[in-house]
Structure 1
Amino acid sequence: MTSSLAEASAPSTAGRRLTFKPDSSTDTGYVDGAWWPRSRDLAVELEALAAEPGAGHVDRVSYSFPDWDDTPRRALVDGTVVKLGGYRTLPAHTMNVLDGSRWRTLLVVPPGTSAADAEHALAAAGSAGNLDSVADLLAPRSP
């Protein structure tokens, strides 16, 4: 894949599981975008991440231990070995993804999140100028 992770942002998040703020966003806030994986198996889910439209090439991932089940130190993604590093010091529900020479911090929307709440978090986290905290982005919406 030749496109960049930064190009994954779209005006509508319907059906999307990955969003990014536009490159022109000057205030990055807590996160640069959001990802809604289907499970807590990071090695499997990274294949799905790389397959998202505009996701680009994933070189390295730093993740928060509590967010994922047991994870190997390396995973094969799109035919390439990706180094994975779990850290207790990363904020919960975030991960850092290296795409070439650029690190991006993603909000990780928990797999069991309702579609409405997940779509809201994806849209907000991918909006230019969004400065909401991880907790605010993941807060359930009122019916």
Structure 2
Amino acid sequence: MTSVRITPASRSVARVPPDDHERLRLDLKPEAPTTGAVDGGWWPRTRDLAAEAPALLAGLTARLGTVEGVSYNLDDWGATRREITIDGARVRLAGYRSQHRDTIDVYSRRQLVTLLVVAPEATAPHARAALRAAADRANTDSVEALLLAPPARSADDAADQRSEIDGAAVHSPEGARS
């Protein structure tokens, strides 16, 4: 599955190497004035923030510059280190119960990005629908509404369902491995 749909003209993280797209499972609104509750969506593979953050933050560096910190909901992520080091820079991980359960904030000196967090256990069609909705510049839905976004039916979704049933690898039309 290719979950990051980025074109150099529309997204600021276009410098992420293609091999990293599947690993990141990230989609962002264009940088120009955004609307809504979030600036994009992220579908981590686990609830281990310290393990998941380095790839995410590397993908966001093109947009934010050097990332200084991440705030998250304590109940959603559980115990984690208070800081990690990425490319020699310390990044603070700060957990709060007041942080919306299904978001994380990633910040640098110049910008804050709020991301919808799709549960790692979400099905691929539902996760992709939530990521697409979160990255739609015009979308002003609440976090809760974004997570309830119905998946669009497509040939890729049908192939994903077949893959989930028989365990076969699925390839998208672009040749990216699903």
What TM-score do the two structures reach when normalised by structure 2?
0.66
Q: Alpha-carbon deviation of 1:140?
A: 5.9
Q: Report which of the two has the higher share of helix.
A: 2
Q: Return the letter of the residue paired with 2:57.
A: A
Query: Residues of 2 paired with 1:57 and 1:116: CA distance?
Result: 32
Query: Residues of 1 paired with 2:78 and 2:134: CA distance?
Result: 24
Divergent runs of 4+, >4 A = 53-56
Tell me what 1:113 maps to.
122
Answer 1 or 2: higher relative contact order, Cα 8 Å, separation at least 6. Answer: 1
Gaps of 5+ in 2: 1-10, 15-20, 154-178
Indicate whether 1:8 and 2:16 are aligned.
no
User: Contact 1:40–1:111 (CA<8 Å) still a contact in 2?
Assistant: yes
Tell me what 1:3 maps to.
none
User: Contact 1:8–1:18 (CA<8 Å) still a contact in 2?
Assistant: no
Indicate whether 1:30 and 2:30 are aligned.
no
SS in structure 1 at match of 2:146: helix
What TM-score do the two structures reach when normalised by structure 1?
0.81
Query: Residues of 2 paired with 1:38 and 1:79: CA distance?
Result: 25
Superposed, which structure 2 residues align to 1:130-141 within 5 Å? Answer: 130-139=139-148, 141=150
Tell me what 1:41 maps to.
48
Q: Computing the radius of gyration over CA atoms, which structure comes out larger, 1 or 2?
A: 2
Query: Residues of 1 paired with 2:31 and 2:150: CA distance?
Result: 28
User: Contact 1:17–1:52 (CA<8 Å) still a contact in 2?
Assistant: no
Query: Residues of 2 paired with 1:7 and 1:99: CA distance?
Result: 15
User: Contact 2:73–2:97 (CA<8 Å) still a contact in 1?
Assistant: yes
CA RMSD in angstroms, aligned pairs only: 2.3
Query: Residues of 1 paired with 2:122 and 2:50: CA distance?
Result: 20
Q: Return the letter of the residue paired with 1:52.
A: G
Gaps of 5+ in 1: 1-5
Aligned residues: 133
* Mean CA deviation greater in 57-66 or 33-42: 57-66
Q: Report which of the two has the higher share of strand.
A: 1
Q: Alpha-carbon deviation of 1:52?
A: 3.2
Query: Residues of 1 paired with 2:139 and 2:81: CA distance?
Result: 33
SS in structure 2 at match of 1:85: strand
Identity of aligned residues (%): 44
